[in-house]
Structures are given as C-alpha cells and as structure tokens.
Amino acid sequence: MLRVLAERWRQKMRTIDFPRNHPPLSDRFRGRPLLQPERCAGPGCGTCTAVCPSGAIGTDASGLFLDLGRCLFCGACSAACPKGVISWSDDFRMAARRREDLVLRGGPPPGLFPLEKERRQLFARSLRLRQVSAGGCMACEADLNVLTTVVFDLGRFGIDFVASPRHGDGVAVTGPVTRNMRDALLWTLEATPEPRVVVAVGACAISGGIYRGLPETADGATELLPVDLFIPGCPPHPLTILHGLLGMLGRLSTGEAG
Amino acid sequence: MVEWHVHDSLTVEAIPVLTAEDFRMAVANAVDQGARLVAFFAAPTVGGATRLYAILAWDGRSCLQALATDPGFGYPSLTPICPQAHWFEREIFEVHGITPHNHPWLKPIRFHDRQDGGERPAPCVTEYFTVHGSEVHEVAVGPVHAGIIEPGHFRFQCLGETVLHLEISLGYQHRGIEAQLPGGPDRRTIHFMETAAGDTTMGHTWAHCAALEAIAGVRPSPRAQAIRAIALELERLANHTGDLGALALDMGFLPTSSFCGRLRGDFLNMTALVCGNRFGRGLVRPGGVVWDIEPERAQELLRRVRTTVRDVRGAVRLFLESSMARNRLENTGALAVEHAVRLGLVGPAARACGVVRDDRWSYPQPDVPLPAGTPATGEGGDLLARAMVRAQEIETSAALVERLLQELPHGPLLLPMPKLPPQRMAVSLIEAWRGEVCHVVATDGEGRFAWYKVVDPSFHNWFGLTMVLRGTEISDFPLCNKSFNLSYCGHDL
Ligand code: SF4
C-alpha cells in the first residue's frame, strides 16, 4: 500500500484542464486544414485530386472543397499542390453536427451547435455510450478508450462507455461498417432506449474513409443511422472527440466551441 | 526448394512446383526440422490457374524457402501432419474453394462471399464444436463485447466453471483489403497498410515498404531505417504498456492500470512528435520516411522516453511484485511449449512459452542494429510469463530507441522509387509488437501487383488462445484474452 502511494506521489496528478486548457500538441499535428481557394488554379489543375487517396479534395461548381468526413489527414495534397492552397492548422476542433458542415471551402468554419433542447437536457450531465466497432482498425477505438484514462478523465463530464446497449443513451460507431457487422450494429442501436444519440467517429464511420466503395463495406454509418455528431480524423485526436462530445451536449462556452 | 535471403527478390518461376503429395511431405519435413510456415496461400499463375505457395522461414539461418503445387480442386491436407497449416488451409478453402482433403475442421474463417457462387454464409453462423452431457453448457459471447474492442464471436463449452473447449469465430471486421491490392501500388495502397491493423501501423507499413524495396532493389538510407526502427519500437512500447495496464485493470489492480493508461498515451504522443499522428500514419513510405528527427527533436524524444520508461517501470513493478498479481497470474492460462511450436505461434505469446523467436534478431532490417542481448523469453507460458516478457521487452525497446536517437546516422529521408520490375516476388518479415508481420508480394508483366498476401501475427495466434482456455475457468477468459490481445481486423483484413 505504501509503495502504491509512493508511486502515485512520484507520478503526480495528470488530468488535463480541458476545455479551458490542453497540453501542447505536436508541431507536426495536422488539424483543421486551411484553404486559400483564391490561389487555386481551378478544375484544370487536378493535382490534389490525383494524389488524394480517399476522394476528399477537389473542385465542383462552387470551387475548391475539402471534405473532412473523407480526409485521412495524410498531407499528400498539401505536399503536391503547386500553389500552396492547402496548409495545416493545429486546431483540433473539427467535429460537426451536420454532414455538410464537414465540407470546407475556405472561409470560417461552421460552428458546432448543440443537440436540440429535449436531448440536451437529458444527456448534458450524463451520457452513456455503447461503442460499436464495425470494421474499425483499432485506432479510433484506442483514441476513444484513452478518454477514459486519468489524462482526459471522461467521467468528470458525466460521459461514460457502457457494456450493454440497454444501459446506453446511444452508440459511438467506428469503422466503415463491414457487411458482416451491419446487422449487429443496427441491432445494438435498436437495443438502446429512445431518445438516443449516434456519434460517428473517424473518416471510416463518417464516409467509409479509405474503404469507401469497397464491396465488403457500407461507406460508414452516415447513410445507415441518424448520426448526430461527426468526428473527423484518421483517427481523430482524443481532444477532437472530447471537444465534439462536449459541444454536442452544449457544454462548451462560445469561445471553446470553435 | 528455392532459398533466398529476406531482403532479396526472386522470380515466381524460380519456385519449384511439386506434386501435391511431395509438396505436403516437403513442407511437413521442413517444419519438423525447425522451419516455420510463415505464409501459405493460393495465388493465380500467369496462365490463370490457381497455385498453392508455401513460404518457410529458417530462423537460425536467416533465410527463406518457397515451394508450390498445383492443387486443382483439392489436395491432401497438410494439417494432420503439420498443424501450423490449419488456419491457412481454411483460408485457402474459403477464398479459393480449394479443398484440403482430410482437414480436421474445415469451415470459413471470415464468412465472406463464396467463390463457387453459393450463398454467402451469415457471419459466424456455422457448425460449432460441441460437447454433450447432462451438465455441459454452452456460453456464447459477441460479436459486440463489453468494452471498447473489436467484434468477434466466442463459444465456450463448459462443465461448471471449467472450459472444455473454446471456439473462436471471426470475420466481422473483414473489409476485403487483399482483394483491393492487385493492380497496385496506387495512391490507396499505403493507407490500406496503415489501417490493416491500426494498432500495428508501423509493423504493416514497414513490411509493405520492405517488400517493395526488395523488389525494386532500393535500399533506404540508414537514417530512414533508424527512424523506422524508432517508430516501430515506440509502437511496441505503447502497446506493451497498454497491455500490462489492461491486465492490471482486469484484476482490479487500479494503480497500475491508471498509470499505464496515461503512459501508453505518452508513447503515442512521442510518435506524434515524429510524424504528427499518434499511430505513425504518414511516416513510412516506400523508399524511406517522410519526417525527419532533427537533433532538437531527438533530444526531446530522448528526454520523454527516459522519463516515461521510468514511470512504466515503477507502475509495472508495483503490479508484478504484488502477491495479489503473482497469485492470480502464475499458472493461469498456461500454454505448453509443444503447442506453441506446433501451432507456429509468434510474438510475446510464443516467447512466453520459452520459444526463442524474434525477427529483429533473425531477420534484421538493413542498417538497423540488433537490440541488446537476446530475445526476451519466459517460462511456462502462463499469464505471468506473458506479462514478464512484455515488461522485459519494454526495457530492450527503450534501450534501442535511446541508442538510435543518440547516434542517428545520416542520409536522405526518402529515396525515389522506380517503377517495380515485372515478374518479381519478395517476402518481408517485421517483428511488430504482437509478433511477426509477413507480406508476400509478386508483380505481373507490367510491374503491378499480381497478388499480395498479408499475414498478421494474430492469424497465427488466435488458436493459441483457444488452447490456453482448455481446462481453464471461464472467469479467467478476460485475463487470458488480454494477455494475448490479438487483432480482429488484422486477422479479418
Ligand atoms: S490530406 Fe486529406 S484531402 Fe489531402 S490528400 Fe490526404 S486524404 Fe486527401
């Protein structure tokens, strides 16, 4: 017992003071991409589209777009673009409540607005999620799991992951939704009582990510389930997930919501 | 039999094609004499037929051998005389519809579309091994488990608390990666590798690049190799630390589990310091690495590795020196060394049984120094041995990372990759944290992938968990499972 206390004393208190503060991220962290569409050479160029592994970037009738819901944050586009249109900020606040809000076109990012009143009142102080991996590679799962460690201490926000969907207020989906997991995912959601929330974590769950269009996957959960929160990344940084969850619950002040 | 060194390539035609019976005996004899069956698969020939290939690794001599046979619709199963083949043969049967006659337990392993056009089986709906008797009962678990982990299905046959047999049925995570690879490499390929088993990004991307570099005859700079090695060891440090914490958690030994939860993240953040991503995505590409470790970054990493490992040491000692942990871990979930050898187990699970098997020593990557000493091994193959092997490997990995950071060699980060030459083949072996990652790659007449085989360490090891459960109490399953911590998606691909 004394040894346990001594080790605890030595290893110190480690919980971060999020959302007020957070430890510095790697200087190489690729957060929200910054676009300068005015520099883009237009559809005739196509350099970014040609190197992008997941079809996340391109031009359409309204000009240049980058879809965070598909992006792997690999940096291939920014390295290839001859005009320097794409650069990376360290802003991890990228989650969105609507799928279309993930499509960036330059200009300020759309804010993250909370759930409607009924569910916000129900879940703001206590949200229990059942996690379902449906073809996830274990990276999104790991960065969800890490939220329960002393560093992020998810429990202090009243958020927790539960073993049974019957005890859950919704599901957090990871993975592109494989054909073999599709039914189990739908049944798990059905087993959670209503009202409920659905969170799609990572590029795979939002759009299929790199697995989009494959015969064994379903292009993620977006078409399949009523997703309330989209958390981009491959995998999303734990802070991106935490920020998204708190934003959905209306627990961020205006400045923090991003 | 054709024999070559792991960093060389060969032509597919150099592999001798034997009769099915000679093939079977040759593989079984080699395995009896100490070779390991690192990959066994079917692939199309230039003429469009389907040929079976066996890749054998001779750890002592650091060399590989290959042989082939043309099976037609069936061939005599190797499994009865060479159990290492059992899961591979089920895979070949499921993917290609080629029957290994007299295989003792021939069923799908991933439950995907059938080659013969028959109806696709529902996931894990199959005949299970059952035990009969008035007091025998069956416990079915999954696909969705209690924690934040991947899906799989477990069937326990129990007599009271005692497990008579556990059957593990997977496939829920099948994304169809291998089917996407022929015709490549293309812009998606490296990302399939990065996410084949997402907690083994370094293992799979390095195996992929090593195979391509062998085919192209490109030798990455010593600096690029050192940065890869640092990232591979950081991946091992993160996961071993996490695994020890998870074992502690399942026993209710909370101090160690909460320390390790944080420390695991600290290692992931070191990887992020190198490449911006906690799992090493975007770091390794064919020809080298994308990100450098400049002197200042090396100093910062060195400082972090030292303090983090010191904290891990403290947390793990608390746990492994407590009488509670010893009592719980010792003699629980033991695996006999004969089983580990006969099933061809890899990684810490094999080493815990006393099997000396670590590709970092047997098949070192060019310009990467050997870790100090010899591979960590344990005794008795029980939970304690699997924990101790990890604890020892944390020390070896940390020492290697420190050494590499202190004397980072020079050289360009990323060499240009030429178009791959046609009709070549290569095999790569990387000792990732769970064990050996093996990639077998062959190019077609145009230098594109003709076929591509991925073997994740979990492919070898899932059946080890089955064997461990025999005669064990069902309440020990969570601990036994954590002590293997196998990948579902790496298996299902
Ligand atoms: S960073 Fe995103 S948009 Fe750019 S190439 Fe990679 S996946 Fe495509």
Residue A108: the pLDDT is 84
With a cut of 70, which residues of chain B have pLDDT below it? Answer: none
**Which of B110, B115, B144, B283 is most worth mutating to test chain A (most A CB atoms within 10 A of its CB)?**
B144
Which ligand 1 atom sits closest to the C-alpha of A78? 4
- Across the interface, do A26 and B269 touch by the CB < 8 Å criterion? yes
- Is residue A256 pLDDT above 70, yes or no? no
Residue with tokens 């993250």: A112
pLDDT tier, A152 (very low <50, low <70, confident <90, very high otherwise): confident
Residue A15: the pLDDT is 82
Residues with CB under 6 A from ligand 1: A 51-54, 56-57, 66, 71-77
A72 alpha carbon – ligand 1 mean position (Å): 6
Pairing of strands A197-201, A170-174: parallel
- Across the interface, do A148 and B172 touch by the CB < 8 Å criterion? no
Distance CA A25, CA A9 (A): 26
- Is residue A258 pLDDT above 60, yes or no? no
Q: Which residue of B has its CA nearest to A208?
A: B175
- Across the interface, do A73 and B188 touch by the CB < 8 Å criterion? no
Domain ranges of chain B: 2-110, 198-449
DSSP B24-46: HHHHHHHHHTT-EEEEEEEEE-T
Q: Do B2-110 and B198-449 share a fold?
A: no
The pTM is what? 0.95
What residues of B are in contact with residue A164 (Cβ under 8 Å)? 146
The ipTM is: 0.94
SS (H, E, C) chain A: CHHHHHHHHHHCCCCCCCCCCCCCCCCCCCCCEEECHHHCCCCCCCHHHHHCCCCCEEEECCEEEEECCCCCCCCHHHHHCCCCCEEECCCCCCCECCHHHHEECCCCCCCCCCCCHHHHHHHCCCEEEEEEECCCCCHHHHHHHHHHCCCCCHHHHCEEECCCHHHCCEEEEECCCEHHHHHHHHHHHHHCCCCCEEEEEHHHHHHCHHHCCCCCECCCCCCCCCCCEEECCCCCCHHHHHHHHHHHCCCCCHHHHC
Residue that wins the pLDDT comparison between B399 and A17: B399
Q: How many CB pairs under 8 A join A and B?
A: 179
Q: Please state, in angstroms and as integers, the Cα–Cα distance from residue B64 to each residue in A97, B5, B59, B240, B288, following that order.
A: 53, 6, 9, 29, 24
Domains and CATH numbers, chain A: 117-257 (3.40.50.12280)
Which ligand 1 atom sits closest to the C-alpha of A30? 1
| CATH class of segment(s) B2-110 | alpha beta
A54-104: pLDDT as tens digits:
999 998 888 899 999 999 999 999 999 989 999 999 999 999 999 999 999
Report yes or no: B428 and B214 within 8 Å, Cβ to Cβ. Answer: yes
B331-344: pLDDT as tens digits:
999 999 999 999 99
Distance CA B246, CA B253 (A): 10
Element spanning B298, H or E = helix B295-320
A203 alpha carbon – ligand 1 mean position (Å): 11
Residue A18: the pLDDT is 81
Residue B464: the pLDDT is 94
B201-260: pLDDT as tens digits:
999 999 999 999 999 999 999 999 999 999 999 999 999 999 999 999 999 888 889 889
Which ligand 1 atom sits closest to the C-alpha of A67? 3
**Total number of residues shown for chain B:** 493
- Across the interface, do B147 and A163 touch by the CB < 8 Å criterion? yes
**C-alpha triplet B217, B223, B227: angle, nearest 5°:** 105
A145 and chain B in contact, CB less than 8 A: yes
Give the right CATH number for B198-449 from 3.90.1150.10, 3.40.50.10420, 2.40.240.10, 1.10.645.10: 1.10.645.10
Which ligand 1 atom sits closest to the C-alpha of A234? 7
Burial code of B288-300, b = ≥16 C-beta within 10 A, e = fewer? bbbbebeeebbee
A225 alpha carbon – ligand 1 mean position (Å): 25
Q: Which residue of A has its CA nearest to B185?
A: A53
